[in-house]
Structure 1
Amino acid sequence: MRKWLIGAALLLVPGAALAQAPSRAPCREVSETPLIRVDPESAARLAEIGLDRARIFALMRETSIPETMGCWAMPVGNFDSQLISVGMSQWNYGTGSLQPVLKAWVHGFGSRRKFKRELKRIAPAFGKLLFSKDCLAIPVKDKCRQGVLAAHGADGKLNPTILAELTAIFESDAMLQVQANAYVALLEEVRRDLLRVFKGQPITWRKVRWAVDTKIQQGFFPGDEDLARLRRKLAAMPDAQRWARLRAIFDWYRASSSTIDQDGVQRDYDWNWRAWNCMIDAGRIDSEAYEMLHLTYIRSRTAIGNSGRWQALTFERRAKIILGVGSVSGKIDGSC
């Protein structure tokens, strides 16, 4: 499962936008935007792990691709029982991740009067519901749930009016700043995680990208005890077993992907399994990637969202980052 932070850790469902939106309508795309401010103190800390402004926005863009096809908004409805998911990281009502984002946008106006004026301008039909006490509660109240469900069409998708209003809110300049603030807060947490998980090791760009994806999907990393146990086993492993052990992880991924209740991987897993095994045969997996694949395995096998429905997808996304080769959501990068 995905996770995001604005003050508290909050779970989301991976690839929500992709599940409802096979093709992307024109949108305001996630990219380096001059109007967005990055807090100087945060920027200084992130520079310690090699993240300047350009790389922060590159990571933001990379995150948005599987979540919203690169858009700042892309609202979707209740297909995953989360009522509404919206924003470049698909925050949602169901898990309580959307409410802090909406509250942050409200607070940015400085006065209730300015907020109400803007809401009336861009969300006259559903703004009052979306920002009601019932909808800002965690969990949402029944009156909110019923109101949101009533805003769905017969096809189970959001009706065009609420879709347009949510898009207008999340594509607004002020909401772009709110989303960027949330992402920078995430990166600050990722920095602390990286320094713990890879203590004493160089923090490479590959590790940063891997850690961001892990944080978004699952929220946290293996604990110190699990890290120590895994590294003891890897250190003691005979060289003759080295590649067989990694192939076993790839086999786990392929077998999981083949089962009836794994989603998001059907177009990808067979290609990935063949390409990644080919990389072993070609000697193209270095020691850093080898350890990171094992770290990904022990975290992906504990992905619990929808009773483990996304375990194979969590592994697939991060393995592609680690190896630079892979297919995710039917998009192939690299080759053996």
Structure 2
Amino acid sequence: MNELLKNPIFATHAVIAAGSATLATAISYPLDSLKVLVQVGSGSSKQLTGADVLNRVRTLSGSSDGREDKYVYVSEALLAGIASGAVESLVSSPFELIKIRAQVTSASRIPSSTPAVEKAVVSPLIAKLLPGYSRDIGALNNTVGLLTTLPTKHPNLVTALKDYPWMMTGSGRPPSVFDVKRPLDIISLEGWGAFWRGMRSGLARDCVFGGIFFSTWQFLHQAMVEWKAVGMNPPARSDEDVGPLSPLAVSLAAGFSGSLAAAASHGFDTAKSRSQCIVLPKYVSMERRFLKWQVPGKRFERWTGIHPADRNILFRGLGLRMARSGIASFVVVGGYLFAIDKLLSE
């Protein structure tokens, strides 16, 4: 059985079969609903037909989720926000990595270009991993000086050290962020997986943000609808009878929801941003896999991608992110409502 599960052909067929079954279920679900209602609604005295059930469903529940109006529960908004946040995290992670490294580069002190003589000593392996990179010769000489006390029979220790990828900077550390900010350099040195680095903290951040944002916004929206419905004569039977809300009030509610969601998810955002600013070459990742390197931290930190060294700085920049998310949510919703109003008025 284990050999069968490890077979790639079997796994491929299993995935395709599961997807096909899911698609078939989604397409045929309305017919299945009619079938069940015919089965449970028929009796010895009256036999229901498919047309009878269809007319009753359309009259009482409509063709959607069985509700008389378009009301959405707060719990449903929470689940929808979590799901949409997970999808957003997967799609936006590569673009976010490039953005963050460009932002860090703008505030970093980039060393002046080295002479052509120093550039010529870069080994072919390093030039392949990071084209155009120049090693810090001063750091390399300092490292070699620390090794001069060791007994060695190598004819040229300096040249030998230059051929190792972990001596790219001359100090045994990976290159800085401003040296690995272009997409081609990231792929060459760190691999394609670098675009999704910090995925655990990113998923936690976007799921928490999306869930709290949409559930809070739905709660505030329903509260405003009920407040507007107070004193109506006759009383409103559904939310649609209350009428549209003020665009400004809806936009303010969205801005407040965005700020609250940003505050709740800010710790994960800090962990995500800091992990994307770490240059992790492919050979280091390979060594970690060979050595079965364990992620440090407590269980919750490992699950959410928070490094234990960042525990005391997780809420740095909280006010800036709350302001940014609040303003962005207000502008998105307000701009959308304004554009819709202008388009419909024409």
* TM-score normalised according to structure 1 size: 0.26
TM-score (norm 2): 0.25
The structure showing larger relative contact order (alpha-carbon pairs under 8 Å, at least 6 residues apart) is 2
Larger Rg: 2
Higher helix proportion (structure 1 or 2): 2
Higher percent of residues as strand? 1
